[in-house]
A and B are shown apart, each in its own frame.
Chain A
Amino acid sequence: KAGVTQTPRYLIKTRGQQVTLSCSPISGHRSVSWYQQTPGQGLQFLFEYFSETQRNKGNFPGRFSGRQFSNSRSEMNVSTLELGDSALYLCASSLAQAGGATDTQYFGPGTRLTVL
């Protein structure tokens, strides 16, 4: 099976602009989570989608939003970009079967966003 893919891989934007990042999960995976990774800050949870519904949300401002489509692909959007939004954005997919029998998250390569 193909792994998790993310597009674009690199992005340069200026303050005030908005950006949309895309994530295609492993075929059959129904859950997609998004994380922000900055140097020394680990993996900060943004949100999680399951069957087109946002199940959980981290502590990020409303400028960060996302959605999931019927084919489980997900997008996240950041509006009014700030310098501090520069980071590696990772998405991860999991099978998320009932009962949690297979819970492992598989990460994509990430989108490196630079805000100038």
Chain B
Amino acid sequence: GENVEQHPSTLSVQEGDSAVIKCTYSDSASNYFPWYKQELGKRPQLIIDIRSNVGEKKDQRIAVTLNKTAKHFSLHITETQPEDSAVYFCAASQGGFKTIFGAGTRLFVKA
């Protein structure tokens, strides 16, 4: 069945450093790739998304890249801050239907 693999499961960085989280999807029909951030005790919140007709998208310190050929997409956070500490989920879907989530990456940003 469809699957999204996410790595690493845990990531610890020093404040100010960059963090990169990588995901691989299996369903070639996937065309929408959102990233969610979930802080402790809160609901997942969309932070950035990318569609299959775009290779890269940036929003301030956050960027996402997509390689459709390799079925890879990645989240890049630059100049990390302690408030970036959370669990991040990648997901892949077909036009918003049948969304499959990765297992999540717990990011720790050390001050």
Could you list which residues of chain A lie within 8 angstroms of chain B, going by C-beta atoms?
31, 33, 35, 41-43, 45, 48, 50, 55-56, 59, 90, 92, 94-96, 99-100, 102-110
Is the C-beta of B73 less than 8 angstroms from some C-beta in chain A?
no
Contact A31 B101 (CB under 8 A): no
**Contact sample, A vs B, 29 pairs, CB 8 Å cutoff:** A31-B97, A41-B103, A42-B89, A42-B101, A42-B102, A42-B103, A43-B44, A45-B99, A45-B101, A48-B98, A56-B97, A59-B1, A90-B44, A92-B99, A95-B96, A96-B96, A96-B97, A99-B95, A100-B31, A100-B96, A100-B97, A104-B34, A104-B49, A104-B96, A105-B96, A105-B99, A106-B46, A108-B43, A109-B42
Within 8 A of A (CB), among B23-44: 31-32, 34, 36, 42-44
Known: A31-B97, A33-B99, A48-B98. A105 touches B89 (CB 8 A): no
Known: A100-B32, A105-B34. A55 touches B45 (CB 8 A): no
Contact A56 B98 (CB under 8 A): yes
A8 smallest CB distance to B (angstroms): 15
Could you list which residues of chain B lie within 8 angstroms of chain A, going by C-beta atoms?
1, 31-32, 34, 36, 42-46, 49, 89, 93-104
A41 smallest CB distance to B (angstroms): 8
Q: Which residues of A are found within 8 Å of B49, using beta-carbon distances?
A: 103-104
Q: Which residues of A are found within 8 Å of B96, using beta-carbon distances?
A: 31, 94-96, 100, 102-105
B29 smallest CB distance to A (angstroms): 11
Nearest 9 pairs of A and B residues by beta carbon: A100-B95, A103-B96, A42-B103, A43-B101, A107-B43, A42-B104, A103-B32, A56-B98, A107-B44
Q: Complex: how many Å from CA A105 to CA B94? A: 12
Residue from B1, B36, B99, B104 having most chain A Cβ neighbours under 10 A: B99
